A and B are shown apart, each in its own frame.
Chain A
Amino acid sequence: MSQTAQSQNLPAAVKERSPFISALVDFWKAFRKNKPAIIGAVIVFFFILLAVFANIIAPQGINNQNINIRLEPPSAQHWLGTDSFGRDIFSRIVFGARLSLRVGFFAVIGSIIFGTFLGVIAGYFGKVIDTVISRFFDILLAFPSILLSIAIVSILGPSLNNALVAIAIVNIPVFGRLVRSRVLTVKEEEYIMAARSIGMGNTRIIFNHILPNSFAPIIVQGTLNIATAILDAAGLGFLGMGAQPPQPEWGTMLSDSRQYITDAPWTVLFPGLAIILVVIGFNLMGDGLRDALDPRMKN
């Protein structure tokens, strides 16, 4: 049967698919086969729901103090117990999802914007610009990430937003290097040469051809980095350099409760479990996205 005859037999919906929709359908087919990735996506979706509907889901306010019920174990009234101020831990964890996800998403978006900008410039224009930007990445990567974050927060002052900025800065070289290497590969492709030969400008080439081709690894790395950003934000919060009390950020909650671990271990247990669960979710989802979108990254 000829190709024309074959295409005539295809359902109308399939024939009319744009390349983007086709890519999405292919991605979904690959992604849904990966059970751990689906579990990860469900966990992430669950926490997003918690964050969005925190006002409805949380049974009590985050700062409703009642000294008479301080350090109460989990019960029907307080599912995860109460903390040293008599505040409901479940409600605080639900609202804490908002803070942790906010830091995770926005820190990574910031890193992606600046990292992509620098990576594209370095990879596309090469020569001295590439050397300078690549050395800048090397220098930033020479510092352990949490330490560089601490240094930045010690300059800006402790707060959740400054922790977000610090985590974003620290992750810039991760995306910068990724995009640079992608640009170096893509810019040698024949269609880029063709685009250049018909007089297409650098900006159009970058936005129409180079960036779309770098999209998949950025999405994968971004998802995995949200997990580390949440862990780093919790670490900074624990050290008193991130969110400040009474904000219900999970790391800050752990720091506030550590002295009560002997008498009320649930005050430490549940915020930690929340961190682990959401980080596992992003890690599983990131691995699944990698396998579906860009299996080369596995190596």
Chain B
Amino acid sequence: MLSYSIKRVLMLIPVLLGMTLIVFAIIHAIPGNPALTILGTKATPEAIQNLNRSLGLDQPWYIQYFTYLKHILSGDLGTSIQTNTPIANQIWPHLAATIELSFVAMIIAVVVGINAGIISAWKKNSVLDYTAMIVALIGVSMPIFWLGLLEQWAFSVKLNWLPSIGRMDIISNVQPITNLYLIDTLLEGQLDQFWMVLRHLILPSIALATIPTAIIARMTRSSMLEVLKSDYIRTAKAKGQRMFWIVYKYALKNAFIPILTVIGLQTGLLLGGAILTETIFGWPGIGLYIYNAIQYRDYPVIQSGILVIAFIFVMVNFIVDLLYGLIDPRIKYR
């Protein structure tokens, strides 16, 4: 296990370096003079020269890359052109908002998706199975921004049940401790504020969870169908075990490896989908941060935002790889 983990870490290094190279290339791939593109055609030559100097664009590219790498390793993500403040200082509250949203969406996706898949496999070819799979098919085919808009229209505008915009009410005053507001409100012992934050989370997290839920449900169904055919399941049935326990205690454990892989891969979908969801719901996460940066052509923010999301995605899949062995001891790490 230890040697596998070390090998896996070593394999991560070229991927992480490659990621930094691609993100570094964003600003250099801009056709023409990047500084002119960023500042616009009305920019003075001095302003262009200053920006070239501050972005290091007056150096050869390989020196720029190593400087960029050095800065990243020391935690310096550059300076925002729009606000002229270090990105590393700005990014955490946005990242925390996205993590909170993605985490809640993933919980919804895992709980609903796995249970829908199990029921589908358990009651194969029944009305329940067909209904679940048709809903899952619509789920994977649905643009989440469209679902988000319909949710806002139905639950905020028409029914007035839930808030449609932001992370909290304008008049509320959640004190950021970790910037994960669900945790912060609990730490402060403010249950009413906790409820208010949770209410803001419901619509965006359901929109964000739709596609992963559908994919997890489909994967769980096919994985469970394989396992339910196994001899040990037949033996358990013959011994008179209750079907509920057979499915949830014995079958699910062995069906979980492909499901876990899908969960890991869906993290990317959640983090990528966050930019669409956050734009619709005015959720101040990293997706909206990048979206606003694109509007202002704030390339250092675009670079850092994308790098941070890709880094989290790679690390989640790394952790998923390590979890395989813990869940299924039959897996040998070579």
Contact = CB atoms under 8 A, between A and B. Distances in A.
Contacts of B60: none
Interface in B2-25: 14-15, 18-19, 21-23
A276 B137 CA distance: 10
Contacts of B269: 144
Contacts of A143: 19, 22, 268, 306, 309-310, 313
A17 interface: no
B85 interface: no
B316 to A, nearest CB: 11
A231 B210 CA distance: 14
A262 B158 CA distance: 8
Interface string A215-231: 00000000000010001
A243 interface: no
Interface string A128-164: 0000000110111011111110110011100000000
A238 B145 CA distance: 8
Nearest to B29: A155
Interface string A223-253: 0000100010011001101000000000100
B141 A142 contact: no
A251 B153 CA distance: 18
Given A227-B141, A283-B137, A144 B146 contact: no
A289 interface: no
A154 B272 CA distance: 15
A160 B268 CA distance: 24
A272 B143 contact: yes
A262 B157 contact: yes
A276 B279 contact: no
B150 interface: yes
B271 interface: yes
A54 interface: no
A147 B143 contact: no
A136 B18 contact: yes
A142 B15 contact: yes
Nearest to A147: B272
A138 B306 contact: no
B15 A151 contact: no
A161 B299 CA distance: 22
A265 B10 CA distance: 53
B18 A139 contact: yes
Contacts of B15: 135, 138-139, 142
A147 B275 contact: yes
A272 B157 CA distance: 19
B222 interface: yes
B153 A268 contact: yes
Contact of B150 (A140, A262, A268, A279): A268
A44 interface: no
A142 B142 CA distance: 24
A140 B18 CA distance: 9
Contacts of A231: 141, 143
B294 interface: yes
Scoring A142, A271, A283, A284 by chain B CB atoms within 10 A of each residue's CB, the highest score goes to A142
Nearest to B21: A139
A142 B310 contact: yes
A280 B137 contact: yes
Contacts of B30: 155
B294 A150 contact: yes
A296 interface: no
Contact of A147 (B14, B18, B310): B310
A113 interface: no
B294 A144 contact: no
B217 interface: no
B313 A275 contact: no
Contacts of A271: 146
A271 B152 CA distance: 17
A81 to B, nearest CB: 15
A238 B146 CA distance: 9
Given A142-B313, A143-B313, A268-B150, A239 B141 contact: no
A158 to B, nearest CB: 9
A21 to B, nearest CB: 33
A147 B275 CA distance: 8
Contacts of B51: none
B91 interface: no
A258 interface: yes
Nearest to B30: A155
A144 B153 contact: no
Scoring A261, A271, A276 by chain B CB atoms within 10 A of each residue's CB, the highest score goes to A276
Contacts of A148: 306
A140 B268 CA distance: 12
Contacts of B255: none
Interface in B267-285: 268-269, 271-273, 275-276, 279-280
A279 B22 CA distance: 30
Interface in A255-298: 258, 261-262, 265, 268-269, 271-272, 275-276, 279-280, 283-284, 298
Given A139-B14, A144-B268, A144-B310, 11 more contacts: A135-B14, A139-B19, A142-B313, A151-B302, A151-B306, A154-B299, A231-B143, A235-B145, A235-B276, A268-B149, A279-B142
Interface of A: 135-136, 138-140, 142-148, 150-151, 154-156, 227, 231, 234-235, 238-239, 241, 251, 254, 258, 261-262, 265, 268-269, 271-272, 275-276, 279-280, 283-284, 298
30 contacts: A136-B18, A139-B14, A139-B15, A139-B22, A142-B15, A142-B18, A142-B310, A143-B309, A143-B310, A143-B313, A144-B271, A145-B268, A147-B271, A147-B306, A148-B306, A154-B26, A156-B31, A235-B143, A238-B276, A239-B275, A254-B145, A254-B146, A261-B152, A261-B157, A268-B146, A272-B142, A275-B142, A276-B146, A280-B138, A284-B137
